[in-house]
Amino acid sequence: MFTRHDSLKPAYDVVIIGAGGHGLASAYYLARDHGIRNVAVLEKGYIGGGNTGRNTTIIRSNYLTPEGVKFYDESVRLWQDLGEDFDLNLFYSTRGHYTLAHTDAAMRTMRWRAEVNKHFGVRSEAVDAAFVKRGIPNIDMSCGGHAPILGALFHEPGAIARHDAVAWGYGRGADRRGVEIHQQTEVTGIRVQGGRVVGVDTTRGFIATSKVLCAVAGFTPRILDMVGLKTPIYIHPLQAMVSEPIKPWLDPIIVSGSLHVYVSQTARGELVMGASLDPYELHQTRSTLDFVEGLSSHMLDMFPFLSEVKVNRQWAGLSDMTPDFAPIMGVTPVEGFFLDAGWGTWGFKATPVCGKTMSHTVATGRNHPLIEGFTMDRFARYQLTGEKGAASVGH
Amino acid sequence: MKILVCPLNGPRPVSEFAYGGEVRVSPDPNTCTDAEWSAYVFNRSGSSGVKYEWWCHIASGFWFVALRDTACDKVLATYPADIVRRGLPPLRDGPASVTAS
């Protein structure tokens, strides 16, 4: 599926660190839309082995800030014909997405999000309890008696997709256009002279380049140390788990912020489930029993009939979190060093639009208009892009 | 379950504790620049490493300092909170000699 390259070239026009969805999408659009094909994508592990293969695959655009809604809406639009673009089945499945509200305060946030969404043409509605019951007939509306469902934000375009295929599709498309993907190649240093990037040291030798894009999810701070930049990014693990396959019974995607659950059923019948971040900083993808116990108990609040269903697997990824729950993207004070980071728990859905906007930013040296609310200098100006109210679950 | 040694209550399950972030020293707000202040407010040491952190034993409301390696989740030592006022030992010298009492 991918061309194997035995050695690195001495120089590339652009070096992308990280062969996950974001890095490969950026390479793909650099080659396809900007004609920049002398590009190396460096990956210390394997293609899509980081958070691209660890997320719970939910795609939505029902955000809270105008910057977020416009950005993610463009991403949802790009998702629609991606499978055709790649000639690869992404199992993109539009299901509808319910964010359940168990309190009056949550209902208020749902109305707020629905109004912002509709203002920008995104299909979201605040709906009542009867609507929720019709959409999810098997749910216990009282949630075990202690968190009755009052209503929800219903987002019709909510979808899931096969996450590995997204990395493979972008990777293959980039590969066919001449981009080199080097797996098992770790970046050990970035050389900066006079405030400009001049090259990258790797475990397989030095590469000269004037442009580096960092798209490494939970490893961002380690790369930033190499160029001497400080950001608000901090790392917490995010865990997820999947059940054994069962008959299809859950069509929509269900999120409950109060119960800290998001769940969908895949095409092969597994329930994919996630919860909130682990409670403290850790740079390790270990799994915990606390997580399975907590998430299972909240799943049973909503769906008591699942009590005999087994959990098949659990895993974790490293999330680079930001104080306002918005990403950090674009140009940086180091000329030629571009950042696609701060993707915390919300990065998978943004894969196509990140590729589009970051390729534009790298090619032109100027931030794409859609990412102007996400720039690194917003913190020094105290102009945060407060997206926490649109996070799947309370953190 | 992971066990954390509270300087007041002894070894307790980690679920009894709340994490309060890295111990950070504020610049003098009267003399520092705007850039220094916003860097203090927002920026963090994001990379993994041995760090001094605030932790709270929730049931007793007791705040203390833990020295923890965030790469492997190993707690190297815990100290009563007054170690911050007395001055934290520099990290390169290893854990402070003051241990849980």
pLDDT value of position A123: 97
Closest Cβ–Cβ partner in B38, B45, B51 for A382: B38
pLDDT value of position A1: 83
Q: Is A323 left (phi over 0), alpha (psi -120 to 50) or beta?
A: alpha
A323 touches chain B (CB under 8 A): yes
Domain encompassing residue B48: 3-87
Find the helix or strand (DSSP H, E) in which B94 lies: none
Structure tokens at A4: 């194997």
Q: Is B99 among the domain residues? A: no
In angstroms, rounded to a whole number, what is the distance separating the alpha carbons of residues A214 and A218? 11
| Same domain, yes or no: A273 and A127 | yes
Contacts of A148 (CB under 8 A, 6+ apart): A102, A141, A142
Residue A130's CB is within 10 A of a number of other CB atoms, namely 10
ipTM of the shown complex: 0.91
| Same domain, yes or no: A153 and A239 | yes
Q: Is B66 among the domain residues? A: yes
pLDDT value of position A394: 61
| Same domain, yes or no: A210 and A246 | no
Phi, psi at B80, each rounded to 5°: -60, 155
A283 touches chain B (CB under 8 A): yes
Q: Is B41 among the domain residues? A: yes
Domain endpoint, select from A321, A344, A375:
A321
Q: Is B80 among the domain residues? A: yes
Domain endpoint, select from A299, A321, A343:
A321
Task: Give the gap in angstroms from C-alpha B59 to the nearest C-alpha of chain A.
Answer: 17
Structurally, chain A folds into a number of domains equal to: 2
Q: Is A197 among the domain residues? A: yes
Residue B77's DSSP bridge partners are B67
Q: Is A87 among the domain residues? A: no
Q: Is A66 among the domain residues? A: no
CATH code of the domain in which B44 resides: 3.30.2270.10
pLDDT per residue as tens digits for the range B67-77: 999 999 999 99
Query: Which amino acid appears at position B14 of this protein?
Result: V
pLDDT value of position A186: 98
pLDDT value of position A392: 72
Q: Assign A81 to helix, strand or coil.
A: coil
| Same domain, yes or no: A178 and A264 | no
The reply to whether residue A222 touches residue B48, judged by beta carbons under 8 angstroms, is yes
The reply to whether residue B73 touches residue A290, judged by beta carbons under 8 angstroms, is no
pLDDT value of position B96: 47
**Pseudo-torsion of CA A211, A217, A219, A225, nearest 10°?**
40
Q: Is A351 among the domain residues? A: yes
Length of chain B: 101
For the residues B4-23, what does the mean pLDDT come to? Answer: 96
Confidence of residue B100 (pLDDT cuts 50, 70, 90): very low
Q: Is the pLDDT of residue B56 over 90?
A: yes
Q: Is A367 among the domain residues? A: yes
CATH code of the domain in which A137 resides: 3.30.9.10
Q: Is A63 among the domain residues? A: no
Domain encompassing residue A366: 14-55+163-232+323-390
Do strands A196-202 and A253-256 pair parallel, antiparallel, or not at all (unpaired)? unpaired
| Same domain, yes or no: A304 and A238 | yes
For residue B49, give the nearest of A22, A283, A388, A128 by alpha carbon: A283
Q: Is A207 among the domain residues? A: yes
Query: Which amino acid appears at position A59 of this protein?
Result: I
The reply to whether residue A280 touches residue B42, judged by beta carbons under 8 angstroms, is no
Structure tokens at A312: 């098949």
B43 touches chain A (CB under 8 A): yes
Q: Is B94 among the domain residues? A: no
pLDDT in single tens digits along all 395 residues of chain A: 899 999 999 999 999 999 999 999 999 999 999 999 999 999 999 999 999 999 999 999 999 999 999 999 999 999 999 999 999 999 999 999 999 999 999 999 999 999 999 999 999 999 999 999 999 999 999 999 999 999 999 999 999 999 999 999 999 999 999 999 999 999 999 999 999 999 999 999 999 999 999 999 999 999 999 999 999 999 999 999 999 999 999 999 999 999 999 999 999 999 999 999 999 999 999 999 999 999 999 999 999 999 999 999 999 999 999 999 999 999 999 999 999 999 999 999 999 999 999 999 999 999 999 999 999 999 999 999 999 888 777 65
Q: Is B24 among the domain residues? A: yes
Q: Is A124 among the domain residues? A: yes
Q: Is the pLDDT of residue B26 over 60?
A: yes
| Same domain, yes or no: A29 and A153 | no
CB B79 within 8 A of CB B6: no
pLDDT value of position A356: 98
| Same domain, yes or no: A178 and A310 | no
Domain endpoint, select from A292, A321, A350:
A321
Q: Is B100 among the domain residues? A: no
Q: Is B45 among the domain residues? A: yes
Q: Which residues from chain A sit within 8 angstroms of residue B72, using beta carbons?
A: 284
Nearest-5° angle of CA A66, CA A78, CA A54?
90
Structure tokens at B17: 């504790």
pLDDT value of position B74: 95
pLDDT value of position A395: 54
